[in-house]
A and B are shown apart, each in its own frame.
Chain A
Amino acid sequence: MELRPIVSALMRNKAGLILIVVQVAITLAVLCNSLFIVIERSQRVGRESGMNEADTFSIDSMGFAAGYDVRDSRATDLANLAAMPGVIAVTTTNTTPLSNGGWSSVVGLQPGGDFDTREGGQPTAFYMVDENGVDAFGVRLLEGRDFRADEIVDFDQNTGLLADVVIVTSALAKSLFPDESIVGKQIYGVAADNRPVTVIGVIERMQMPWVGATNIEQSTLVPARLNEAGFSRYLIRTEPGERDRLMPQVEKLLQDSNSGRLVRRLRSLEETRDMAYRQDRAMMSILGGTMLAMMLITGLGIVGLTSFWVNRRMKQIGTRRALGARRFNIRRYFQTENGVMIGFGVMVGALLTYGFNAWLMQNFNTPRLPWYYLPVGALAMIVLGQLAVLGPSLRAATVPPALATRTA
């Protein structure tokens, strides 16, 4: 089918053509950019924290009474919790992955200096755990050994952190020692007073607490307990399926065992994850909804406009039929016309798409839109257009040739 007469017929209805072209162009631009953001976010949300999230929860205790001794209380709590049926492991910790709060520093192979001028320095987050830390977090030890009970140090602001050993994630190990095993090596930046610590083990994976962190998998487990302000946090891993039953029991146990403290923030890791990625998931839903609504509106708009155009050209269609056009030719005419319009829209839309992406890049440091989004989006628009024109074109094809000879 020749395009020229179709294009010239379209040019005679400039207003309609422009409206559809602009609509398709904006829809394409929004579609590509939104899809890009949605996919980026879904990848972000889909990252594994590395720890067992299904069977774990955390709870805080904050002593305030005059005689409250955080070390005694902690020892009692740990013993009580470990003895509960259904609990597999329990550890003290300062934070958990996905909680967006914690302690980070830069570790390196040399002592001294600013954090970022440390030679071979790598950012890392510290998880201050006890000898059950690896077990409670449910992370897999790839190399080396776990902490021993006698390696756990108590510290506060005045003593400084004086641990001798650490366990690191494989990501941090690779960054610090790309070519050899880190086990047995000394690193600086963990312990106070520029003292080195020896890496005794490597775990497979554990994210930093901040979901927005770069180098998010470079975490360090430190065998230490911070004794300050009566604060302690416990991470408890239960047997599969026991978590929800145990959570209120644990809260009650801690509350009842010592009235000189507040028991707060009882939270499963799944809840913690939900909170951490809430904004990303909201953004995904909003953009997804916008994309769908936009495609729907654009599609229905094309159905509506094409229907009017078919009506207006009834007689013309009848004449074509009278002159020998088959139904197929009539259908094809409208489908081609639609394809041409969408084609124009896609061309304008390509500019808008990259313009919007450039704006996002400049203002929000969004990455560049990969090239394949545009052809995929264009294809989606063409399919949408063809779906939209299907009904009207089928109706056009049923116009009887006899219409040509009727006057009204």
Chain B
Amino acid sequence: MIRYYFWLAARSLRRNPVLTVLMIAAIALGIGAAMTSLTVLRAMSGNPMAHRDDRVYRPQLDNWAATRGFDEQGNPPNLMTYQDSMALYRAGKARRQAAMFPQVFPVEPANPEVRPFQASVLMTHGDFFPMFDVPFLHGGGWNRQSDDNNARVAVISRDMNDRLFGGEDSVGRRLRMDGEDYTISGVLDSWNPQPRFYELSSGAFGDIEDIFVPFGIGIEKELNSSANNNCFADPGNGYAAWLASDCTWMAFWVELDGAGEAAQYKDFMDAYVQEQKARGRFARPLNNQLDTVSQWLERRQVVSRDSQTQTWLAFAFLAVCLINTVGLLLAKFMARAPEIGLRRAVGASRRQVFAQFLTESAMVGVAGAAIGLLLTWLGLLGLRGLYGDSAMGRMAELDAGMAGIVVVSAIVASLLAGLFPTWRACQVTPALQLKSN
């Protein structure tokens, strides 16, 4: 029987090719648009630390100007001052803690054939790697002692290892940058957290740094952040003044074991700020925050507004396309009411009529969904063309999970479109059609 239904459906669809093409195109365009935008939105909404969301926390202290909050929403500054980061770091109240800021270093490869180039560097503490569960291909990070001594050790990304050492195990090898030699302690495995939650100020969606070195080296070299340095008052001249200022320029993260420890840590932060208030800093009311990674991403609104707007509009478009197809299928099926009446009269049960017409709508739906998948792929290609290397362009990639979502929702959406017309078709009573011709 199912073959008979397929045969009938194919016949009916072929009989009115323009209409069939219109219905399939509508579903395909709707699915394509909705899934393209959803792919980007979903990629942007990801939380790469979801598996450690109860362990990794972002402390934020509100040291901003007395007269004005950091932003209109009343958030504390997005970054922390040097002195506060160091105070929290040295207090060591968390299981792990790391401050960090980005810079760029010129790298001089040992091979004279390779020209010097600039590499992005993250100055951070050794706890960075275990805290964020960073995978290593070779070797590992560095210990507290290296942090304390500003040891010239470096962890390099897998890409950098491929570029500098042709992918060999380079642990123990020398790396010359910014005029000094560093010893490579570890090579990262592929690690590409998106969003790059730990240091959003140099772009929420981008590659990780090429090289990681102990935090103190950056201070020793009198560097500031290459990304974001915010002051609400003139910090004064000289690096010492810069370090002592209320300018915020570094990220600070801690690892805690669950909400209980987080509450204790929050108390510790509050106590610290109270103590600082007594020294004349922190003019604003107590406004400390301790976010999990998911809360942090939410607070910093890493999901682009354009992506959200596009997703809403694309789903409205999908709705129009589906409604359009519902209308056309309905009209088409109703125009065949005499046929339905006849089939019912000669013995087709309601279920058989339902099956017959559902087959036809499903053929439209599945064809639309299939082309919609292709359009999603093309749409993502188009987005990458339009957005290039910016966040939304980078996020326009289909992963396996999203591909699954796309396939399922495409088929569900298109079957939904076919359901109402089919239901109406099998409501046609056989009797009515005897005379109405």
Interface residues in chain A, defined as those with a beta carbon under 8 Å from any beta carbon in chain B? 15-16, 19-20, 22-23, 26-27, 29-30, 33-34, 37, 62, 64-66, 113-117, 157-160, 192-194, 262, 264, 275, 278-279, 281-283, 285-287, 290, 293-294, 297-298, 300-301, 304-305, 308-309, 311-312, 356, 359-360, 363-364, 407-408
Contacts and interface: CB of A to CB of B under 8 A. Distances in A.
Given A116-B65, A290-B314, A301-B327, A279 B332 contact: no
B305 interface: yes
A283 B65 contact: no
Contact of A283 (B116, B242, B306, B328): B306
The 10 closest A-B pairs by CB, nearest first: A64-B106, A308-B331, A282-B386, A160-B237, A301-B324, A19-B327, A364-B305, A114-B233, A114-B65, A158-B238
B257 interface: no
A407 B314 CA distance: 47
B67 A117 contact: yes
A364 B324 contact: no
A144 to B, nearest CB: 26
B377 to A, nearest CB: 16
28 contacts: A16-B330, A23-B327, A26-B323, A30-B317, A33-B313, A37-B309, A113-B233, A114-B68, A115-B232, A116-B68, A157-B242, A159-B237, A160-B238, A275-B388, A278-B390, A281-B386, A282-B386, A282-B387, A283-B309, A286-B310, A287-B310, A287-B313, A297-B25, A298-B320, A301-B22, A301-B324, A304-B328, A312-B334
Given A304-B22, A364-B309, 19 more contacts: A15-B424, A26-B316, A26-B323, A29-B316, A30-B313, A66-B179, A114-B67, A115-B232, A115-B234, A116-B232, A159-B237, A192-B236, A262-B106, A279-B306, A279-B387, A294-B317, A294-B320, A364-B308, A407-B437
Contacts of B66: 114
Nearest to B116: A262
Nearest to A34: B313
Interface in B294-332: 304-306, 308-310, 312-314, 316-317, 319-321, 323-324, 326-328, 330-332
B108 interface: yes
B94 interface: no
B154 interface: no
B117 interface: yes
A12 B317 CA distance: 28
B383 A158 contact: no
A214 to B, nearest CB: 12
B331 A64 contact: no
A275 B305 CA distance: 18
Interface string B56-95: 0000000001111000000000000000000000000000
B328 A157 contact: no
Interface string B412-437: 00000000100010000000000001
Interface string B266-278: 0000000000000
B12 interface: no
A401 B317 CA distance: 41
Interface of B: 19, 22, 25-26, 29-30, 33, 65-68, 106, 108, 116-118, 178-179, 222, 231-234, 236-239, 242, 304-306, 308-310, 312-314, 316-317, 319-321, 323-324, 326-328, 330-332, 334-335, 383, 386-388, 390, 392, 420, 424, 437
B313 A114 contact: no
A19 B330 contact: yes
A278 B388 contact: yes
A278 B387 contact: yes
A242 B326 CA distance: 59
Nearest to B176: A64
Given A297-B26, A297-B29, A308 B335 contact: yes
Contact of A297 (B239, B321, B392, B424): B321
A364 B234 CA distance: 32
Given A30-B317, A160-B237, A283 B232 contact: no
A66 B179 CA distance: 7
A172 to B, nearest CB: 19
A33 to B, nearest CB: 8
A220 B368 CA distance: 57
A12 B200 CA distance: 58
Contact of A115 (B222, B231, B242, B308): B231
A298 B306 contact: no
A113 B314 CA distance: 49
B222 A157 contact: yes
B62 to A, nearest CB: 15
A174 B256 CA distance: 53
A13 B44 CA distance: 44
Contacts of B319: 26
B386 A23 contact: no
B335 A312 contact: yes
Contacts of A192: 234, 236-237
A364 to B, nearest CB: 5
A285 B327 contact: no
B41 to A, nearest CB: 13
A275 B26 CA distance: 33
A301 B26 contact: yes
Most B-side CB within 10 Å, residue of A20, A33, A115, A159: A115
Contacts of A364: 305, 308-309
Contacts of A160: 236-238
